[in-house]
Amino acid sequence: MSREQRITDEEGRVLLKSLTQPELAEWLTQELGEKPFRAKQIWRWLYVALVSDFEEMTDISKDLRAKLQEKARIDTISLHDERIAQDGTTKLLWKLDTGAIIESVMIPADKRNTLCISSQVGCAMNCQFCYTARMGFQSNLATAEIVDQVVQARRHFDKKDIRLTNIVFMGMGEPLHNPNNVIPATNILCDRKGLSFGTRKVTVSTSGLAPEIERFGRESDARLAVSLNATTDEIRDWIMPINRRYPLGVLLDTLKDYPYKEHERVTFEYVMLRDVNDSMEDAARIVELTRDIPCKINLIPFNPHKGTEFVSSPMERIREFQQFLLSKNLVTTVRETRGDDGMAACGQLGKLGDRSPKRMTPPERFEAVLNLDDQTMGSHSG
């Protein structure tokens, strides 16, 4: 395989859900001596029938099933726990072969049921308002471990007569920090002869890795979301350290040159932090920054977690912010907070380990408005 990607487990068995359909056909013909059409059969069993055992593949010979049992794997993760919030938001905790736990969240709504999936164990981006960031980075997920969150969640929720309609890569990790596994995962999810999610129903969110955004635009048909969260480099350098590598000018130029498909717009996600990024001056700057970019704005009330110094903007301010952007003809929505009582809301996933990344020192003028206790202050680093 040409991609630098983990496609086998520690025992050398191929992770079938790490392979696109052409790669599956290549492996079957070159390694097992089978005809290419077998790939289409196996693909349907994996992604339409959603089988978990090779013996369920009844139109495949016993000999081939025995080979597959020896040399390949179907499932790569196992359900460790399920936690249901009061509003019906459901967090699924999955266990990896390594013993690490990752999380997916099913968010129900009237006309859609969205599954938020993870792409890494932890995250290296160190965004200051995100709980997952405080885990630090532990490992990338294989394509199979990403796809399996969707396959096994679909099995799980089908039993409850809940149909998954949308997939968002907004769980643990920075998806474009793991492009070799995330990009093929999006293509597997959108394959019309398999899981068959429409390309407009799969969204990958990034903190702003400019070169990987360019690659994503070339290699994936899924939709793109970008966590903006600030309108000046000064603030974004602080709350999103990736901005020091790819500042706003670089990021926005990349999005201006992005290969948008017909009627496609990037979604700018904007976490509303009280007295940090929620002034009307910020709203005016958003209008200027996004002027030449086909986009929509999604305002996200900050979801608190233990130890954070940030507070969400009041809803009155969020609505005022929204109305200003709407008045400037920017499509602007406010994300409804879901699952926050079960630590299943945006920015709340994960479990802290023994070591957390160092906190970034805020500009001095912000210290008076932040909720800085002794523990938080003691962990700040320039």
Check if 346 is active-site. Answer: yes
Cα–Cα dist 317/300, whole Å? 12
Pull the structure tokens for residue 290.
């996004």
Query: Helix 315-327 vs helix 280-289: angle between axes, to the nearest 10 degrees?
Result: 40
Instruction: State which amino acid sits at residue 7.
Output: I
**How many CA atoms does the CB half-sphere of 151 hold within 13 Å?**
29
> Residues 123, 130, 295, 346: which is the catalytic one?
346
- Helices and strands (H and E) in the chain: how many: 11, 16
Q: Residue 187 in contact with residue 17, Cβ under 8 Å?
A: no
Give, in order, the Cα–Cα distances in Å from 16 to each of 32, 52, 236, 257, 354: 14, 12, 40, 35, 34
Q: Residue 171 in contact with residue 103, Cβ under 8 Å?
A: yes
Cα–Cα dist 300/230, whole Å? 13
Structural element, H or E, at residue 262: none
Check if 103 is active-site. Answer: yes
> Residues 23, 34, 103, 269: which is the catalytic one?
103
- Please give the positions annotated as active site: 103, 346
